[in-house]
Amino acid sequence: MATTTITDGVKISVETQYQPEYSNPANEHFMFAYKIHIENLSDNTVQLMRRHWHIFDSNGTRREVEGEGVVGLQPVIEPGGSHEYISGCNLKTDMGSMKGTYQMVRLMDDMEFEAEIPQFYLIAPFKLN
């Protein structure tokens, strides 16, 4: 099930998956993968310039991560086009959440705007039993 939001014609959907083969619960290491699908529903070509994440562990720990692009790219997305990538996040607990923003620029007039990344939850499947 994807979590989705739309900001200024940019639709962002997120799906997550626990990665047991890369996790070590005994050492408080829980690895999650997330797939982001960015769709340009606007009439303007946009480029993703930067990302800003807020990462929350269920033990109250909060981290922020900022940087250029996503997985080494600053994708240009044409009207009706999309970009998808997979990345990961490690937590010290078996559940947490992430949310954030992408700094986007509309190429026709260099107008910058922030596209909201919806809050999504990272939960190890055994936590749901």
- What is the predicted pLDDT for the residue at 129? 57
Please tell me the total count of domains within the chain.
Answer: 1
Domain residue limits at 80: 3-128
> In the predicted model, what is the mean pLDDT of residues 23-31?
96
- What is the predicted pLDDT for the residue at 1? 65
Task: Please provide the average confidence, as pLDDT, over all residues in the chain.
Answer: 95
* In contact, 13 and 119? CB cutoff 8 Å: no
At 96, give phi and psi (nearest 5°). -175, -165
pLDDT for residue 58 is more than 70: yes
Other Cβ atoms less than 10 A from the Cβ of 116: the count is 15
Q: Is 61 left (phi over 0), alpha (psi -120 to 50) or beta?
A: beta
Q: What percent of the chain has pLDDT over 70?
A: 97
- What is the predicted pLDDT for the residue at 128? 64
Q: What percent of the chain has pLDDT over 90?
A: 95
- Cα–Cα separations (whole angstroms), residue 122 to 37, 41, 67: 17, 27, 21
Q: Domain of 47: which CATH number?
A: 2.60.40.1470
pTM of the predicted model, to two decimals? 0.93
CA dist., res. 102 & res. 79, Å (int): 17
pLDDT for residue 121 is more than 60: yes
